[in-house]
A and B are shown apart, each in its own frame.
Chain A
Amino acid sequence: MLPTLFNENKCRVGVGVGIQNQKFSISIAGVGGSSTPVQKKAEESNTTTLTPSLLSSSVAFLTLLEVVRTTASIMGSEAQKVFDAKDASSMLMELRGTFETGKTKSYEWRVSQLKSMLKMTEDCEKEIVDALHSDLSKSELESFVYEIAMLRSSLTLTLKELNRWMMSEKVKSTITTFPSSAEIVSEPLGVVLVISAWNYPFLLSLDPVVGAIAAGNAVVLKPSEIAPATSSVLAKVLGEYMDSSAIKVVEGAVPETSALLEQKWDKICYTGNGRVGRIILAAAAKHLTPVLLELGGKCPVVVDSDINIKVTTRRIIVGKWGCNNGQACIAPDHIITTKDYAPKLVDALKLELEKFYGKDPLNSEDLSRVVNSNHFSRLTKLLDDDKVSGKIVHGGQRDKTNLRIAPTILLDVPEDSRIMSEEIFGPLLPILTVDKIEDSFHMINSKEKPLAAYLFTNKKKLKEQFVRNVCAGGLLINDIALHLAVPTLPFGGVGESGMGSYHGKFSFDAFSHKKAVLYRSFAGDAPARYPPYSPGKLRLLKALLSGSIFGIIRALLGWSKA
């Protein structure tokens, strides 16, 4: 979904401390109510010291640490110890123990955890918004809409529907197995691992956890180390609000993730990029663990010419730059339109961009920054490519100190340039042109399957063709990113954009095993099932397996000639 750089662990400080922090949360759970004032203090120091830089988040960590030191003396020499395979394995053992007690299977437990999480999103909204601002300079409204409110609606829906989802599904049994009854029972898989991403570090961490809890599993969450402030808030608040004997957070980077991946999980859910996705799958293969991969891809937007251009451009802009400044797995990666229409589209985009973000977008409060300097230099390299640098028709300004790149539009970049061969994941938007709008479908299908594909048109026929011909995780016509908010639609990729899906009931299903149950009585045995075998038995079997009642009667009466 996003180019998380697996070996880019720039927050070494945060790593060791993060583990402490997790210990901290466990100890809090043990101490109970007595630690509340301390938590308050931690929250305060956290929120007051956080400013948009990595340094300040370490400050927040250290403040937290100090708090811990005053409450429980669990620090000392342990402070430098990195979470290793041994720690992972003992943590897993504890969680398995919890799972085996059957506690997490009860409806009451699931609901209490989901409610507790809901309360957390209300109590800690400010903390979360501040952490997101520290990690990504995300505006409050964007944090609210795409992270907090999305999680809340996911929780509300799950709480409302869980009872129904948990019910076993009666299915018709066939005449072949008559008399019998059959049902499908959803049961939890066990202990699941959720590894999340830095671009929506709150939502993408907790939304899968909601599914895992709803299905009755124990969970370990590994938030992304590239959004350290959010990672630390997650570790803290989950420790406070959730049942720490069944739900745990492990903070850290490569060594911690590797330690976790060595363990045997019952399911792994990973949000990120294809390169790490492959590592996760290979690790899971050793234990035959099923995997849900939410990856990304180059999501195209096809723009036809008979459209309401104002609405179209506004929707594209808010989907591209209004979603974490292009750092989203479903953000538009590039636009495909006709040669004739392209100039008009560019003008309209420029006009609306200025209305949204002003004349100086580098200083707009409403745009997120690029997550870190690695990604900043990756993006500027894409722009500085010889084949590409001359194609900029709007924007292109950058501010290295504050990690900001202005919304940038490029027209007719060559298809073999780097910007067109890898996922952009940033505020750059190339526009490709075709002679006929239908040519765009071929263009999309000749590349790897994206997570989402968008079309703006009023033509019914073109819509139909698009839906039939374009292969992507999801399709959205005349809008951007909104399909994400529809819980009756599965969200997930196909091919390079991932495997498996979640959201709504699909989340519950993703973390459940669908156990087939068949009830038979002792009566109703066809003798043909058993040896010694004879030609008559063969005849009856043929009739039974074809489900033909007349055939069965004929065979039983010996009338069949077969």
Chain B
Amino acid sequence: MSTMELEAAVGVGQSLDELRQTFRSRRTRSVEWRKAQLRAILKLISDNEDHIFAALQQDLGKHPVETYRDEIGVVVKSANHALSCVEKWMAPKKGQVPLLLFPSKGEVLPEPLGLILIFASWNFPISLALDPVIGAISAGNTVVLKPSELAPACSSFLAKSIPSYLDSKAIKVIEGGPAISEKLLQQKWDKIFFTGGRRVGRIVMSAAAKHLTPVTLELGGKCPVILDSLSDPSDIKVAVKRIAGGKWGPCSGQACIGIDYVLVEDNFASTLIELLKKTIKRFYGENVKNLKNLSRIVNRQHFDRLRNLLEDPKVAASIVHGGSLDENNLIIEPTILLDPPLDAEIMTEEIFGPLLPIITLNNIQESIEFIDSRPKPLVIYAFTKDETFKKQILTETSSGSVVFNDVLIQFLCDSLPFGGVGPSGFGRYHGKYSFDTFSHEKAVLQRSFFPELEARYPPWNDFKMQFIRLGYRFNYLGLLLLFFGLKR
């Protein structure tokens, strides 16, 4: 641990005390405070757009349009949505109460959990940091945000700008690497929200177990595209555009909802490859030295990991497009592979980079079995016009979400919960789901002192037993008869 990290570690305890005190002061519960913080996030973004563009350029070589679409835009949209809905979300929900308990009133009141820890990831270092923060604030919590140290420019941007825009006694950014994370995980939180890989997910959950802290894990997985043999050429064009945009567009494939591989019928593969090649050329250019609009690989370690995937001789033999690497600039060309061996690492591990295996099947129906025999992915994309096939995909596979005829845009749909299942994580967020993730749903039942049912109390006898039996059956007529002595 460096001295800087050591100092930071000492500061963690103090920061947390301050945050807990703020929470106890109940300031963060008022709707005014929540809205003020959400507005502050919007202001932070609009004042600093250029800084954000620069930070992402530095960390990942992200193009400003991509940065706007995947980072700034996402945060602005979420903050606006939360601003307009937070009052509605905070309102208690009425619950129907059985007649036997009449008169009484039941409701569910959302209340903040307390102190939240958010671990963001490096691939979308602004949106995956601020999107959950928006949820935690909307729900009235105090927050510690730990940005990823693998996107250092963004991490330091967040650490510098957040305290000057948001309530620094309630929302703190703590920067650092694994040592700081470990230190943070030793503390008692009321909720931990983690975006990242499975290995660290396990560490986070084990640490949370010690304090019985609930956890939301946003992980990844190998997200497949099922591409049915479309007959209409214009549909094919759209599908290919969406696949090419969705694979290499968002952070060069380094995205948890990015496309991992494509499943397609034998006879359709060559058409797909030809069209993909053309689209790649149009979108990103040709020579690895002159690629445009393409993010770089985050660091040397990941670059080497991806290179290793390609270096397997059988895998290398399956490359049909690309495959060149620019080691100095950490750029990997959009690469297409046709039928790499299914037991090679590229088909067993999440790729998380610009390599796209195309797996051919005799019949597109086989894709269901292909997906079911592998761990549940975060999302399944399917391009098809066949309604029965759609239905089959929906009911016979399991994944965090399913998107038909498009890619990635489910992330922008606030009315849909975003989250995984099984190895792709648990818990969900976005829109109202973010609010719920950071709230406790407190059940409240209010009763009056009258009327009083004698049958509730001991000493027990047959009459009371009879009464209760009828009550549970909601047999109100029977109850009435019992009272008048007409029923035995």
Contact = CB atoms under 8 A, between A and B. Distances in A.
A187 interface: yes
A278 interface: yes
A530 interface: yes
Task: Rank and list the top 7 A-B pairs by shortest CB-CB distance, nearest first.
Answer: A488-B95, A281-B209, A533-B65, A531-B293, A285-B205, A545-B73, A516-B401
Contacts of B3: none
B342 to A, nearest CB: 20
Interface in B393-427: 394-396, 398-406, 409-410, 412-418, 421-423, 425-427
B64 interface: yes
- Residue of B98, B113, B239, B406 contacting most chain A CB atoms (<10 Å): B406
23 contacts: A141-B464, A144-B468, A184-B416, A277-B212, A278-B209, A281-B209, A286-B202, A293-B212, A307-B449, A308-B450, A312-B449, A366-B459, A474-B444, A478-B446, A483-B106, A490-B108, A516-B413, A517-B401, A517-B403, A532-B292, A533-B293, A541-B73, A545-B74
Contact of B444 (A145, A284, A475): A475
Given A522-B238, A545-B76, A314 B413 contact: no
Interface in A506-546: 513-523, 525, 528-534, 537-538, 541-542, 545-546
B212 A499 contact: yes
Contact of A518 (B113, B201, B410): B410
Contacts of B401: 515-518
Given A176-B77, A282-B209, A293-B212, A473 B468 contact: no
A485 B101 contact: yes
B394 A177 contact: no
Contact of B469 (A144, A281, A516): A144
B402 A288 contact: no
Interface of A: 100, 102, 105, 139-142, 144-145, 149, 152-153, 171-174, 176-177, 180, 182, 184-185, 187, 189-190, 266, 274, 277-278, 281-282, 284-286, 288, 290, 293, 295, 307-308, 311-312, 314, 317-318, 322, 356-358, 364-366, 458, 463, 467, 471-479, 482-483, 485-486, 488-491, 494-496, 498-501, 513-523, 525, 528-534, 537-538, 541-542, 545-547
Nearest to B238: A522
B323 interface: no
- Residue of B283, B469, B472 contacting most chain A CB atoms (<10 Å): B472
Contact of A463 (B65, B446, B458): B446
Given A144-B465, A473-B443, A545-B77, A489 B402 contact: no
Nearest to B93: A488
A92 B74 CA distance: 42
A102 B283 contact: no
Given A489-B443, A546-B76, A318 B414 contact: no
Contacts of A534: 65
B256 to A, nearest CB: 14
Contact of B443 (A295, A307, A356, A475): A475
A155 to B, nearest CB: 11
A8 to B, nearest CB: 21
A517 B212 contact: no
Contacts of B130: none
Given A145-B468, A516-B416, A531-B249, A490 B441 contact: yes
A153 B109 CA distance: 25
A349 B472 CA distance: 28
Contact of A538 (B64, B219, B409, B445): B64
Contact of A174 (B412, B444, B447, B465): B412
A530 B248 CA distance: 10
A237 to B, nearest CB: 20
A266 B421 CA distance: 9
Nearest to A477: B446
Contact of B97 (A366, A486, A520): A486
Given A105-B395, A519-B405, A482 B447 contact: yes
Nearest to B100: A485
Interface string B438-475: 00111111111110100011111000110011001000
A529 B443 contact: no
A93 B202 CA distance: 23
Given A288-B201, A515-B402, A545-B73, A530 B428 contact: no
A538 B415 contact: no
B97 A318 contact: no
Nearest to B208: A281
A152 B410 CA distance: 40
- Residue of A295, A322, A489, A537 contacting most chain B CB atoms (<10 Å): A489
Contacts of A174: 412-415
B101 A533 contact: no
Contacts of A185: 394, 402
Given A274-B212, A500-B214, 9 more contacts: A152-B472, A176-B412, A277-B212, A288-B202, A318-B456, A467-B109, A486-B97, A545-B76, A545-B77
B77 A149 contact: no
Contacts of B283: 530-532
A357 B458 contact: yes
A522 B212 contact: no
A504 B234 CA distance: 48
B235 interface: yes
B293 A517 contact: no
Contacts of B201: 288
A488 B206 contact: no
Nearest to B416: A516
Contacts of B360: none
A488 B106 contact: yes
Given A516-B416, A541-B65, A547-B77, A471 B111 contact: yes
A537 B65 contact: yes
A485 B98 contact: yes
B187 interface: no
Given A152-B472, A285-B206, A318-B457, A518 B413 contact: yes
A377 B442 CA distance: 35
Contacts of A145: 468, 472
- Residue of A308, A486, A546 contacting most chain B CB atoms (<10 Å): A486
Given A174-B414, A285-B202, A477-B445, A314 B465 contact: no
A538 B65 contact: yes
B293 A532 contact: yes
Contacts of A529: 69, 245, 249
A127 B238 CA distance: 65
A546 to B, nearest CB: 7
A489 B445 contact: yes
A351 to B, nearest CB: 13
A139 B239 CA distance: 67
B241 A525 contact: yes
Given A489-B108, A532-B292, A182 B459 contact: no
B292 A522 contact: no
A522 B416 contact: no
Interface in B346-373: 372
B459 A357 contact: yes
B446 A173 contact: no
A145 to B, nearest CB: 5
B25 interface: no
A152 B468 CA distance: 13
B190 interface: yes
A475 B447 CA distance: 11
B468 A177 contact: no
Interface string B195-210: 0001001100110111
A66 B91 CA distance: 60
Nearest to A174: B413
B277 to A, nearest CB: 15
B96 interface: yes
Contacts of A189: 421-422
Contact of B445 (A190, A474, A541): A474
